[in-house]
Amino acid sequence: MGEIPEHLLKRAAERKAQLAAEAGGAGASEDASAGSEETTGSERTAGAEAASTDAPVAPVEEAPVRTGLAAKVPEFLFQRSKNRRAVLSGGTPTSSGAGSGGSSAPAAGAPPAGAPAMVGPDGHTHRLLTVVKSGSIQQTKAEAQDKVHTWPHLLSIELGAMLVVTAGLLVFSIFVRAPLLGLADMNQTPNPSKAPWYFLGLQELLTMFHPMVAGVTIPGVALVLLALTPYYDKNLSNKPENRKYAIAMMTIFLIFWAVLVIIGSFFRGQGFNFVFPMKDGVFFEL
């Protein structure tokens, strides 16, 4: 058992003094009533003395001497613990201390009449189990979360995909020759002159609209709509049937750009005119 705090010892001393004062007042009133009874008649006194001499005298139980840490515990706590053990064992609670006239005074810390059992000095009904030092309380139980660390859960997968793609490009470059053309001739311009395949969609738009519209407005609106899609569709589900808006936006963008690239690659001939590949041939170079 740890050392009892100073404020508990102070409260116990104040309660002891209060109980001693109440016991002294009760003893004085009993002495006054006893003197009045002696003046009223000698027969009642003689009968009381005969009854007191005939009645067996109960032995007075001496309180054990406490040493060490037990000496700092208030007396009423020991008495209350003793009474509680007696009640649990089926016996009768005992009271400590006796007043004048053979009447027993209420035990220190005993609950008053009509009050619930195990009432403390100030009327509290809780029991003090132990005194612990104040400190931070941390939650040791981990909560389930749907997040994982970037390493190694994500980066390990990306590293594996990068190695696979690099190995595939290495094998492809060994067996397939790059379609390189001859040296550039400033006096001879290729016909048709096409941009790389990933820019053919933009070149196709330039044949239909003004350069400001084809090069800035249409691509800018498409990119802004794609950037705003996650803010509109906030569903966290991974199932396609629950992400219809996001999937529809991305599908429309991909199909629109893929159609423009296919037209610019296979349906544009000399002078970048529209031709059918099955009639005039395929004017397509990597």
Shared domain check, 9 and 109: yes
The CA–CA distances, whole Å, from 201 to 197, 271, 272 equal 8, 17, 13
Is 263 inside a domain boundary? yes
Cα–Cα distance between 93 and 76 in angstroms, integer?
13
pLDDT tens by residue, 94-130: 765 444 444 444 444 444 554 445 555 566 666 656 6
Is 176 inside a domain boundary? no
Shared domain check, 221 and 105: no
pLDDT tens by residue, 259-268: 999 999 899 9
Residue 282: partners with Cβ closer than 8 Å, 6 or more residues away = 266
Residue appearing with tokens 């569903």: 235
Range name among 2-6, 167-171, 195-199 with the lowest pLDDT average: 2-6
Name the average pLDDT for the chain.
Answer: 76
Range name among 174-188, 228-242, 245-259, 265-279 with the lowest pLDDT average: 174-188
Domain boundary among 123, 151, 169: 123
What six digits make up the tokens of 273? 């005119």
Is 171 inside a domain boundary? no
Is 166 inside a domain boundary? no
Q: What single-letter amino acid sits at 49?
A: E
The CA–CA distances, whole Å, from 109 to 112, 119, 141, 195, 282 equal 9, 8, 42, 100, 108
Instruction: Give the residue, 42 or 201, on which the prediction is more confident.
Output: 201
Shared domain check, 216 and 110: no
Shared domain check, 224 and 119: no
Domain that includes residue 11, residue range:
1-36+68-123
Cα–Cα distance between 260 and 209 in angstroms, integer?
13
To the nearest whole percent, how much of the chain has pLDDT over 70?
Answer: 64
Is 137 inside a domain boundary? no
Range name among 20-34, 48-62, 73-87, 204-218 with the lowest pLDDT average: 48-62
**Angle at CA 280, nearest 5°, toward 277 and 283?**
65
Which range, 55-64, 93-102, 187-196, 218-227, is most confident?
A: 218-227
